[in-house]
Structure 1
Amino acid sequence: MADRLVRISSTPRAVQASDWGRGAIEPMLPALLRGVIFISVLAAPFVAALLAG
């Protein structure tokens, strides 16, 4: 068990440090865009009701 933990912890990381900043942000952008679209679709009836008076 201890040998396995040492092997797992000593494996090299797949993402290099120079690419880490860009690589961590890119997968978040589609998720953020979906979240913004989802919130705007939910808010549209309330905004329409406020504008209608």
Structure 2
Amino acid sequence: MADRLVRNSSSLRAVPAPERAYGGALQPILPALLRGVIFISVLAAPFVAGLFAG
């Protein structure tokens, strides 16, 4: 019984494949960051236009 548990836990299928160092973590952040930049720029546009208008 112990042999079977050790053999199953050390199989390659039980170990998850590691993600790439930067690609896996950065990919979901970029669309959210882009949406944030667009949102802030839309909010700031009337104030910037007011500053330019004098």
Report the TM range for the smaller structure's normalisation.
0.5 to 0.7
Gaps in structure 1 of 5+ consecutive residues: 1-10
RMSD between superposed Cα atoms in Å: 1.7
More helix by share: 1
Q: Which runs of 4+ in 1 moved over 3 A?
A: none
* Aligned-residue identity in percent: 63
Please tell me whether Structure 1 or Structure 2 has the larger radius of gyration of its CA atoms.
2
- TM superposition score normalised by structure 2: 0.65
State TM-score, norm by structure 1: 0.66
Query: Of the two structures, which has the highest relative contact order with CA contacts closer than 8 Å and spacing of 6 or more?
Result: 1
